Amino acid sequence: MAGFRVLRVDHASRHADIHAVRQQVFVHEQGVPGELERDALDPVCTHALAVDTQDRPIGTGRLLPDGRIGRMAVLAGWRSHGVGAAVLDALVQAAAAAGLQQATLHAQLPACDFYARHGFIPEGPRFEEAGIVHRQMRRTLGSAVAIEGLDAALAITTAIIHRARRRLWIHSRQLDPGLLDAGPVQAALRRFATRPHDKQLRVIVQQAAAIQAADAPLLALAQRLPSVVQVREVNDPIDRGLASACLVNDRGDYYFRLMGNRLEGEAAIALPSRSQPVEDRLQRVWDRSRDCTEFRALGI
């Protein structure tokens, strides 16, 4: 697949290209009525336009002045090549540059996992829009957000793993059954662990024997990729008394739970001023903990 680039454009200058993509995706593919593809808000929006090396439009999306992202569309032949992610990132950056505190969107249900990987958290019930079932999602910009419920916990966990570059930390008493073994989270972990560059996943657990008995999927990944996934059990008496759990990556993302047996907690995307102290604390706990070499030796 050839290369592409994403431009931040105004509606007046590239409206023909913007609507060519939207017409193909929304009207021809999804059956959305043509009159709903355009509206009076287009001229006041910031638009992101993805073009190929010959400047032909291949994807688009828009940002409303209030921070709502919409009209995300990528031509069929360019899907799964990072175009949608690049368009979304350009719109999030535009929202941050405008001083907005959050970006929101209405995600079609099949696209919810995509948006979750990029830090958007689902909220509220499902609803229909243009005859298609959607769910509202929100990404907070420049500050922490409270995480409540399984849907939000799965979304932020997946995002932190997906966004990690080379380093990822997990601290959990028993590897959080129902969270760390969920399908989207496991897929993100496998993707991180098998990337073709140097990376490291450090896992700190409180009760090694309990997670060994539970045959946690993350331990199987540690067995297959011991140079990438390293597991240690807390050894210091103070560390054994820790009730918290957390997930941190090297892009300033974190999810901290004061009570590790509950999903409620605090999280942020791209907020290194808050994530770095959490990572520093984990490093100290790691240095005091023992290496769980038995996980690799027992062939679990």
Is 40 in the same domain as 181? no
Same domain, 157 and 292: yes
State the CATH number of the domain containing residue 283.
3.30.870.10
Question: Of 111, 140, 169, which closes a domain?
Answer: 140
Domain boundary among 114, 140, 166: 140
CATH number at residue 18: 3.40.630.30
Reported for 59-62, long-range contacts at CB under 8 A and 24+ positions apart, including other chains, are: 59/4, 59/6, 59/21, 59/83, 59/84, 59/86, 59/87, 60/17, 60/18, 60/21, 60/22, 60/87, 61/87, 61/88, 61/90, 61/91, 62/18, 62/91
Query: Which structural domain, as residue segments, surrounds residue 119?
Result: 4-140
Tell me the whole-structure pTM to 2 decimals.
Answer: 0.90
Residues 210 and 277 in one domain: yes
One domain, residues 203 and 95: no
Does residue 36 share a domain with residue 91?
A: yes
What's the number of domains the chain is made of?
2
Same structural domain, 293 and 152 = yes
Considering the domain architecture, whether residues 114 and 185 belong to the same structural domain is answered as: no
Residues 136 and 206 in one domain: no
Q: What is the pLDDT along the chain (300 residues), one digit of tens a residue?
A: 569 999 999 999 999 999 999 999 999 998 888 888 889 999 999 999 999 999 999 999 999 999 999 999 999 999 989 999 999 999 999 999 999 999 999 998 999 999 999 999 999 899 988 788 999 999 999 999 999 999 999 999 999 999 999 999 999 988 998 999 999 999 999 999 998 888 999 999 988 887 877 778 888 888 888 889 999 999 999 998 889 999 999 999 999 999 999 999 999 999 999 999 999 999 999 999 999 877 765 444
